[in-house]
Chain A
Amino acid sequence: MPTVVVEIIVVLVKIAVVFGAVALVVAYLTYLERKVIGHMQHRMGPMRVGWHGLLQPIADGLKLFTKEDIIPSQADRWVFFLAPVVSLVPAFIAYAVIPFDRNFYITHLNIGVLYILAVSSLGVYGIVMAGWASNSKYAILGSFRSAAQMFSYEIFLGFSLIGPLMIAGSLDLVKIVDAQSKVWFIVYQPVAFLLFLVAATAETNRVPFDLPEAETELVAGFHTEYSGMKFAFFFMAEYANMVIVGAMASVLFLGGWSGPVLPGVIWFFLKVMAFIFLFIWLRATLPRLRYDQLMYMGWKVMFPIAILNIVGTGLVIYLL
């Protein structure tokens, strides 16, 4: 068999495995969140469907699948239909470059980090399209704010990554993990890590930056008019983004797959889960920032700190 065909088949299998794993993780992430927040709030979370509620995501999935698909009469049909897709697809294709282990990745790009940033910047369009297509005041306001928030914090996300990138000297994710073989970057770049944490929370529209989706404040923001499977897509996109950001954190700051004894994939998974647990913990604890406070904090506080971090890192690298 010509090697090209074998290569293609191998890649397809890898894609299927990663896609399946991600879909499963995303679905069970909803369950994990409900359980963890439940226990933090002195209650138990889902308990009925399956043993201790383990089949809850499946029940939820079935429910959303069989729900009536409501399309507002004034909605722009094509855009309305495509918005959840445009939200979900970038979240999934970003996994193409993530190294789960030294030799386990779908593809090896020498611009890995840039690819992920580029692809996540496309996720904003899902929100923009959702707001526009719904043609309702609430949805437009919500999507406007969410989009502005997302791409402002994308900038900070990028800036916070420049520190580790300077130390690693490459945009290639595998090389970045290798550069951490002695010391993890979180030790060299604690400020960048904190910035990354805040920016990632805002990027993925999580508390305390979830105003655009806050039910209590604006009904439901940009996905007000969505029901059934389309709503499920937005939901899944948010969780898939969380996992991507967790994966980026673990690759860029926590040493990726490195760790003693256990296979690399398990370490990677544990680190991503630690990050996600942090996100869930934040959601249970903190109140929500008002939109103008959020933007203020980003541009007037985080941005200068990010630039100072870059300058500082540059100086240190130059002097050493």
Chain B
Amino acid sequence: MLETKELILNMGPQHPSTHGVLRLVLKLEGETIVGTDVVIGYLHRGSEKIAENIPYFEFVPYTDRLDYTAALSSNLGYVMAVEKLSNIRPPERAEYIRVILTEFQRIAAHLVWLGTHAMDLGAMTVFLYCFRERETILDFFEMITGARLTINFFRIGGVPADLPPQFFARAWEFLETFPDRIKEYEALLTRNKIWLKRTKGVAVISAEDAIDLGLTGPSLRGSGVSFDIRRAEPYSVYDRFQFDIPIGEKGDVFDRYMVRVEEMRQSIRIIRQGLEQIPEGDLMTRVPRKLKPPAGAEVYVRIEAPKGELGFYIVSDGGEKPYRLKIRGPSFVNLQSLPLMVQGGLVADVVAAIGSIDVVLGEVDR
């Protein structure tokens, strides 16, 4: 009888759908996957080490480049960590501006995810539609911060600039029209038989396995675990907003897709409330020129980034530069679940799985 040999297939690091420089070594039997080795490190830039050599203020641009699709989220996590370390409270208006911009960033990051995920599975048009909306959001960012992608806007102690007057009208217009756009994307995908076939029951991960592996963010919520840091440990001014936490049921690609689409809708709700409630006030508290947090202080601050739990652990030795800065990148931990998800599946499912975990190699490799 003919024996089916084990075939080793190498995907990446240069591959159109591994979303960055990710390398997967797949062990196949026929077309079924029996083992996966995830090889990372191709984008390692030594961010954590660099942090030890520069003052706290100067590290903010480096956080942009972690999850480069959601720069403001990473900014937020870092400045909040340093603020907690040094007992600095930013003014209310600054907090509101931060939340509004971070939620816009969440939508922008999810649009990149949706566009690329759909395109990987063949639905090219969704990609262009998503990027059309993302352009509007990037225009907002440019209007307010001066940058589109690597934004570097939040500062330790607040924000450096206010929302310009022309922002509000355009933002309200966007909030009115965006839900219809989401309907457009869903019209092309959610009830499309082919999309359902490619995503339902594919790359399933159970809630227990997800929790065991440290999975966080929409990938965890897709498996039915209702854990969102904005609700569980509210930070900034999130406790003043009403929003739902969408969860899935089975933990397959489709559930993770639905969770993120719903999250975009919830972000719209938060932004609306933010724009309505935003108070007048200062933008920055007074922060010493040379910021020296107390020696021996250590802090771990985590936020709900678009990809999951983004954590910053900082140890201070009393100097201007951190003694140790550790970044818990959500994609790094989420990627661990990939081998379990694709075990027993087909090669074509690997593409769907990577897309559904929404990995960004900047966070994985730092």
Contacts and interface: CB of A to CB of B under 8 A. Distances in A.
B122 A293 contact: no
B15 interface: yes
Contacts of B120: 216-217
Contacts of B192: 286-287
B16 interface: yes
Contact of A290 (B16, B118, B125, B348): B348
Contacts of A67: none
B7 A137 contact: yes
A40 B125 contact: yes
Nearest to B196: A287
B194 A288 contact: yes
B57 interface: no
A85 B198 CA distance: 35
Interface string A66-98: 000000000000000000000000000000000
Interface in B82-134: 118-125, 128-129, 132
A320 B69 CA distance: 66
Given A208-B194, A216-B16, A293-B197, A284 B124 contact: yes
Contact of B188 (A43, A137, A283, A285): A285
B16 A285 contact: no
A216 B197 contact: no
Contacts of A292: 31, 346
State the majority secondary structure of interface residues on B.
helix
Given A216-B17, A286-B123, A289-B194, A43 B128 contact: yes
Contacts of A207: 122
Interface in B128-143: 128-129, 132
Given A216-B119, A217-B351, A286 B194 contact: yes
B195 interface: yes
Given A40-B125, A216-B120, A216-B351, A287 B132 contact: no
Given A216-B16, A290-B198, A42 B128 contact: yes
B197 A290 contact: yes
Interface residues of A, number: 27
A211 interface: yes
Contact of A286 (B15, B31, B122, B128): B122
Interface string B290-320: 0000000000000000000000000000000
Interface string A119-158: 0000000000000000001000000000000000000000
Given A216-B16, A290-B346, A284 B121 contact: no
Given A137-B9, A219-B15, A290-B348, A284 B125 contact: yes
A225 interface: no
Nearest to B350: A217
A137 B121 CA distance: 22
A41 B348 contact: no
Contact of A287 (B16, B17, B31, B198): B198
Nearest to A218: B347
A214 B348 CA distance: 10
A219 B188 CA distance: 25
Contacts of B347: 217-218
B349 interface: yes
A233 to B, nearest CB: 23
Given A42-B132, A217-B17, A217-B351, A289 B197 contact: yes
Contact of A211 (B9, B16, B119, B348): B348
Contacts of A285: 123, 125, 188
Interface residues of B, number: 29
A288 B132 contact: no
A36 to B, nearest CB: 12
Interface in A204-243: 207-208, 210-211, 214-219
Interface string A2-41: 0000000000000000000000000000000000010011
A269 interface: no
Contacts of B194: 208, 286-289
A287 B346 contact: no
A277 interface: no
A292 B347 CA distance: 11
Given A137-B7, A290-B198, A37 B122 contact: no
A216 B7 CA distance: 20
Contacts of B122: 207-208, 210, 214, 216, 286-288
B100 to A, nearest CB: 27
A210 to B, nearest CB: 7
B348 A42 contact: no
Contacts of A293: 197-198
Contacts of A287: 118, 121-123, 189, 192, 194-195, 198
19 contacts: A41-B124, A41-B128, A42-B128, A208-B194, A215-B16, A216-B17, A216-B351, A217-B351, A219-B16, A284-B125, A285-B125, A286-B122, A286-B192, A287-B192, A288-B121, A288-B122, A290-B197, A291-B31, A292-B31
Given A217-B351, A287-B194, 16 more contacts: A137-B7, A207-B122, A208-B122, A216-B16, A216-B17, A219-B15, A286-B192, A286-B194, A287-B189, A288-B121, A288-B194, A290-B198, A290-B349, A291-B346, A292-B31, A293-B198
6 nearest A-B residue pairs (beta carbon)? A288-B122, A41-B128, A287-B122, A287-B123, A216-B17, A287-B121
Interface of A: 37, 40-43, 137, 207-208, 210-211, 214-219, 283-293
